[in-house]
Structure 1
Amino acid sequence: MKTKKIVAETMHLALKMVRQQLGEDAIIVNTKVIKTGGFLGIFAKQKYEVTAYSVENDGDPSEPEFQVKLKEWPLKNDNFKSNMVIKTANSENESNVFHKQPQKLYEFYNKETEPKEKSISSSEKNENILLEEMQQMRKMMMNFLLNDKQSNSLPAGLVNGINELKKQGVNDEVLEYISGKILTKYESNNALDEALIANEIISIMVEIFEKRIPKTITVRDQTRMISLIGPTGVGKTTTIAKLATEQVLKQKRKVAMITTDVYRIAAVEQLKTYAVILGVPVEVVRSKDELEKALKKLESYDLIYMDTTGRNYKDPEYCSSINEFIDLSIESDHYLVLSLTTKYEDLQLLLNEFLDSPVKRLILTKFDETTSYGTILNIAYKFPYHLTYITNGQSVPEDISAIDASQIARKLLGRD
């Protein structure tokens, strides 16, 4: 099996390149709109990414989603019919929508969500409509299956598990992926034990998490500075105190602190209070020039923590100013700090802004202030950031820990 990611200016061109490079029988695994170039969304260009694999050898891709065969997906297509009539195995009555005991239901689901040929258009607008309607069709089919109690189309344990994840705020794309993996594995068995399905769901979620959780979160020896970036009120200053305490008391490193958050006097004073307790110096900077002077002054220290200003990340000027503080020659690790009490839709905007930046790690705060943990799974599934720490209180330094994939998965399913 050969897997490729194709990026092109239009979806039409991307699909054409997939056909050329992987052949007529290539399987599309995922399609999405991405931004390339620029920084923090500024001057970025919109492109289309298609992930596909060849079918030279038997086997499923490592992360199968609801797949579409390329040879059955017309390159020029702007719409497709959503009217579906599915006959039962033992009856010609079209009012019966699903088999009582469906065979290869996941494969059937894929087939019925493939686009049908209609009119020909190569415009980006129509390509976007096609993708949107495919997603709507998938959502409609999944909702139908989950709520179709009379035909018993899905195992009760799977329906209950998916509904529990929905309550936790897990989005439809992730639910489709989890359901699809289970239906693929147990396609001919509709009477599965609920405990078995629950364990399968937990196992799939752990697999998703583990792809994003680094094997170690220990600070690298060559790292000289760690900067925390994020909106106002997510707990950056307290988190820096927790991380710095670990390095001073346990790792015995010589630590210093820098803050650029001069817009909030309370933040500066709070950081200075923590610094006095730890016996470490603090430098307050307002510009890149001042930052460079502070770094020279602190060059004898093993590790420097920098607390950045928390403001509106929708403001391009502010995003540009943040770039000045993190674009340094010094060996640095940059963490984006996000609160789990923030709506996932808002977090997505922020996460998208930093995709092309040096920020590669996430710290999730206020775990103790929410009972909905679906955001963590949504982020792990969709974004390539490393999930490092999670905070669950204000106490310094104890209320911070590495993210435990199994613990979060069990909480999501109400098993912990």
Structure 2
Amino acid sequence: MTMKKFLAKTTRQALMQVKEELGEDATIISNRSINGWTEILARGETIVNPDLHSQKTQKPDDAHFTKQVQAKKAQEMLALLNSKPTQKTMVPLLEPQEVNTTKVDAIQNIQIQGVLKEIREMRTLFQVQIDSLSRASLEYSPNKRDLMSQFLSAGFNLDLAKRVITKLPSDFSAKEATPWAINLLAKNLQVLENESEIMSRSGIYALLGPTGVGKTTTIAKIASRYVLKHGNQGIALVSTDTYRIGGHEQLRIYGKILGVEVFAAKDAQELQQILEQLKDKKLVLIDMAGLSQKDQMVGAQLDMLHEANHDIKKILCLNASGTLDTLNNVSIAFAGRGLDGCIITKVDEAIGLGGVINVALQNKLKVFYLTNGQRVPEDIAMVDKVTLIEEAFNQGKMKDATSTISAEDLPAFFSKSAAMIDQGITQYA
């Protein structure tokens, strides 16, 4: 078997070279682009050229001329490979293997530097964890350290855990500490106490959030609950999703099933006109387009609701399976003109609820509903805040049961990990 590199202006030409020299059964090992040229590494049986004998018998002058032509072509090809697109420079003639090795080394060096940067960032994070946990070990009693471990395992952040633990009465046992912490969190978590606040009073609610968080399905669930209680005359649905192809259609299908009118608005003026038409409706639900929290259109979307000149309550949908940092970032982005609450979605997909509860507490968001599946209208429920927080702690205990690292071992684990990172940085820097 022979392994060989082939270089050509196009992939098609390179493959033809492979076929001619190694046959149709050749195996392609790699294929990459270098300054507009295609390099293919292939393996196969070298095909004996039937004209090889005639080449050997050609005259010395012909052979010398052929070598000159081949050398000139190789030089031109290497000059193209080494030249910059915007400059014409003289490039020294190098062997193909030397060119490839130099470029590969440069690429690998860039990749290594990028990895080292990420490793250094990890090392900084580890150091923060080491310092925080070490201080906690020194400052807190065994009961408080155990409660700290439960908070972190449940997905709450260190800052919230510290604020709760500092208020723990010193005479509480480990058995009393957890229920006390759960009740303290529950007192500070705002939830919809009575569904009649939505179902029996006039109101306009806009559901916001990133793409795929479940806004349209959640609107269908709330609309279904309303229709089951009050019929379909006092409710209307509005879609502002002009970004996706067929963005209105899913909501229209739900509206048709429920016998509820569905309207589409592409800007603030249309939205204002539609809301004027619907002023006799008890409940109007607006399905906003899904936008990334990093999208500059988030501000325009919030402005659209503000400029409609109606009292529109803004409800943020938070994906329970998202990370704490991401959810917090989403909350901050969509809170530009204030938020009236949130709905926690995709609870059935989450492996921990501490993060989303932490965000609701941190941003003082009132939790209206939980959704835990795709079924309409079954998979939606009001919030029992004590049960919700207990579930978060229970999920943390389940993660602890599968972990081989105890709370007492965490500082040592982070220290060891940081030392390994330092060793890696020293080796490759």
> What residue is the counterpart of 1:236 in the other structure?
215
Checking the alignment, whether the CA contact within 8 Å between 1:340 and 1:370 is kept in structure 2 is yes
1:143 to 115, 133, 136: 133
Tell me the SS of whatever aligns to 2:368.
strand
> What residue is the counterpart of 1:99 in the other structure?
none
For 1:288, the aligned partner's letter is A
CA distance in 1, matches of 2:342, 2:235: 22
Checking the alignment, whether the CA contact within 8 Å between 1:387 and 1:403 is kept in structure 2 is yes
For 1:398, the aligned partner's letter is E
Report how far residue 372 of structure 1 moved.
1.0
Checking the alignment, whether the CA contact within 8 Å between 2:201 and 2:282 is kept in structure 1 is no
Report how far residue 158 of structure 1 moved.
3.4
Checking the alignment, whether the CA contact within 8 Å between 1:227 and 1:326 is kept in structure 2 is no
Aligned pairs for 1:157-196 (under 5 A) are 157-182=143-168, 185-186=169-170, 189=171, 193-196=173-176
CA deviations over 1:181-240 (Å, ceiling 9, x no partner) = 11xx21xx4xx533212222222222232xx22433421755342111111000000000
CA distance in 1, matches of 2:242, 2:159: 41
Report how far residue 396 of structure 1 moved.
0.8
Report how far residue 162 of structure 1 moved.
2.1
Aligned pairs for 1:301-320 (under 5 A) are 301-320=281-300
Checking the alignment, whether the CA contact within 8 Å between 1:157 and 1:198 is kept in structure 2 is no
Task: Say yes or no: does 1:382 pair with 2:328.
Answer: no
CA deviations over 1:353-405 (Å, ceiling 9, x no partner) = 34441422111101110121111331233112212211111111121112221
For 1:223, the aligned partner's letter is S
> What residue is the counterpart of 1:44 in the other structure?
none
Tell me the SS of whatever aligns to 2:344.
strand
Task: Say yes or no: does 1:288 pair with 2:268.
Answer: yes
For 2:207, the aligned partner's letter is L
CA distance in 2, matches of 1:238, 1:305: 12
Task: Say yes or no: does 1:215 pair with 2:193.
Answer: yes
Sort the Cα spacing of 1:408 and 1:224 in 2 relative to 1 into closer, same or farther, 3 A: closer
CA distance in 2, matches of 1:374, 1:267: 32
Task: Say yes or no: does 1:249 pair with 2:239.
Answer: no
For 1:240, the aligned partner's letter is I
Task: Say yes or no: does 1:365 pair with 2:345.
Answer: yes
Sort the Cα spacing of 1:354 and 1:262 in 2 relative to 1 into closer, same or farther, 3 A: closer
Report how far residue 320 of structure 1 moved.
1.7
Checking the alignment, whether the CA contact within 8 Å between 1:223 and 1:333 is kept in structure 2 is no
Task: Structure 2: give runs of 5+ residues left out of the alignment.
Answer: 1-125, 398-429
Report how far residue 333 of structure 1 moved.
1.8
Once structures 1 and 2 are overlaid, which stretch shifts more, 250-259 or 357-366? 250-259
CA distance in 2, matches of 1:198, 1:300: 49
CA distance in 2, matches of 1:299, 1:357: 23
Aligned pairs for 1:329-348 (under 5 A) are 329-348=309-328
Checking the alignment, whether the CA contact within 8 Å between 1:313 and 1:319 is kept in structure 2 is no
Report how far residue 311 of structure 1 moved.
1.7
CA deviations over 1:77-126 (Å, ceiling 9, x no partner) = xxxxxxxxxxxxxxxxxxxxxxxxxxxxxxxxxxxxxxxxxxxxxxxxxx
Report how far residue 301 of structure 1 moved.
2.6
CA distance in 1, matches of 2:163, 2:368: 24
Q: TM-score, normalised by structure 1?
A: 0.59
CA distance in 2, matches of 1:226, 1:163: 39
Q: Could you say what the CA RMSD is over the residues aligned between the two structures, in angstroms?
A: 2.7
CA deviations over 1:247-297 (Å, ceiling 9, x no partner) = 111133511111011222354221111111100111122122222332234
Tell me the SS of whatever aligns to 1:371.
coil
Tell me the SS of whatever aligns to 1:388.
strand
CA distance in 1, matches of 2:187, 2:279: 41
Checking the alignment, whether the CA contact within 8 Å between 2:148 and 2:161 is kept in structure 1 is yes
For 1:216, the aligned partner's letter is N
Sort the Cα spacing of 1:412 and 1:158 in 2 relative to 1 into closer, same or farther, 3 A: farther
Max radius of gyration: which structure? Answer: 2
CA distance in 2, matches of 1:321, 1:193: 50
CA distance in 2, matches of 1:398, 1:243: 10
CA deviations over 1:105-148 (Å, ceiling 9, x no partner) = xxxxxxxxxxxxxxxxxxxxxxxxxxxxxxx9997675125556
CA distance in 2, matches of 1:369, 1:227: 24
Once structures 1 and 2 are overlaid, which stretch shifts more, 220-229 or 363-372? 220-229
CA distance in 2, matches of 1:411, 1:200: 15
Report how far residue 409 of structure 1 moved.
1.8
